[in-house]
A and B are shown apart, each in its own frame.
Chain A
Amino acid sequence: MAKDKPAALRIETFADHHVITQPNPLRKVLRRVAEKDLDDPVARAEKALAELSGEFQNWMGVETARLAAAHAAVLKQGFTNATRLELFRAAHDIKGDAATFGFPAAGVAADSLCRVIEHAPDLDEVPSELISHHINAIQAIVRGRTRLDSASTAGELSRQLRSLADDYLAHANRDRPEHLDAILAPSIAPAE
Chain B
Amino acid sequence: MFRIDFNKLRFLVCDDNPHMRRILRTLLHSFGAREVYESEDGATALEMYTHYVPDIVITDWSMPIFDGLELAQMIRQPDSKGNPFAPIIMLTGHSEKRRVTVARDAGVSEFLAKPISAKGLYQRILNVVANPRPFIKTKTYFGPDRRRNTSNAYIGPERRTGGEMEVLQQPSLLDKARSST
Contact = CB atoms under 8 A, between A and B. Distances in A.
Contacts of B166: 14-15
Per DSSP, chain A at the interface is mixed
Interface string A12-23: 111111111110
Contacts of B129: 26-27, 29-30
A100 B95 CA distance: 15
Given A42-B122, A185-B96, A189-B113, A26 B32 contact: no
Contacts of B132: 24, 26
A38 B138 contact: no
A89 interface: yes
A89 B9 contact: no
Contacts of A42: 118-119, 122
Interface in A1-60: 1-3, 6, 12-22, 24-35, 38-39, 41-42, 44-49, 52, 59
Interface string A71-86: 0000000000000000
A49 B26 CA distance: 7
B119 A52 contact: no
A163 to B, nearest CB: 18
Interface string B115-140: 11111111000001110101111110
B173 interface: no
Given A2-B52, A13-B167, A20-B136, A26 B9 contact: yes
Contacts, number: 183
A63 B74 CA distance: 30
Please indicate which of the listed interface residues A26, A101, A111 has the most CB atoms of chain B within 10 Å of its own CB.
Answer: A26
A177 B27 CA distance: 41
Contact of B95 (A59, A63, A89, A189): A189
B62 A89 contact: yes
Nearest to B83: A6
Contact of B114 (A21, A34, A38, A95): A95
Interface string B58-82: 0000100000000000000000000
B98 interface: yes
Nearest to A30: B2
Contacts of B6: 29, 41
Given A38-B3, A97-B115, 7 more contacts: A1-B9, A1-B10, A15-B168, A42-B118, A45-B26, A98-B115, A189-B114
5 contacts: A1-B8, A2-B54, A30-B129, A31-B4, A44-B31
